[in-house]
Amino acid sequence: MPRWEPDARERFVVAALQLFSDQGYDNTTVAEIADRAGLTKSTFFRHFSDKREVLAAGQETLSKLLAEGITAAPADATPLGAVEAGLQHAAEAMTEFNRELAPRLAAVIATSRELQERNALKQVGMAAAMADALTKRGASESVATTAAELGVLAFKDAFAEWTAEGNVHELSELTRASLDRLRTAVTQLG
């Protein structure tokens, strides 16, 4: 077996989800995940600090993509316009791998309070990354935080719709529609 497998992270994620689904999160060990993935325990720890982190494997990447999209938005974009650019940038990076694993991931997260808390922290991290990118563009802290939170809501709703059985729409289309619904809702708040 090669020392560095090019798809090791994906293999660990798939193996972990299979085991978590079959025998539960608490009853699954890192050694079992590594064995199922056909890799070593030491390789696991080169990629993840613990088994909980396997389920958040894409969080840093997603936050980075959102921030990059905001940074690359046109200089005259409004804060929500920049958030939309971030959502589009992140949506374009999502693959069928993300789409196929999402329902299984959600089912596993639903079984553990620890994982639910970790998932909530993931959303906080996404919002923080977007808010930071917006403040660097000149938005005030309150505007940046509000726009970022709306971006998280839009992404969360769009991603859930994208991964639902029978969906035929692209994630980029769904994020745009979700953010538009939130823009409308905000104007109705008064």
Q: Is residue 2 part of a domain?
A: no
Q: Is the pLDDT of residue 5 over 60?
A: no
SS3 state at 113? helix
The domain that contains 78 carries what CATH number? 1.10.357.10
Residues 20 and 90 in one domain: no
Residues 19 and 65 in one domain: no
The residue that leads in pLDDT, 156 or 52, is: 156
Q: Is residue 168 part of a domain?
A: yes
State the pLDDT at residue 2: 43
The amino acid at residue 178 is S
Q: Is the pLDDT of residue 83 over 50?
A: yes
State the pLDDT at residue 115: 84
Structural contact between residues 55 and 107, judged by C-beta atoms closer than 8 angstroms: no
Residues 127 and 173 in one domain: yes
The domain that contains 19 carries what CATH number? 1.10.10.60
Q: Is residue 126 part of a domain?
A: yes
Which domain range does residue 45 map to? 8-54
The residue behind tokens 């389920």 is 55
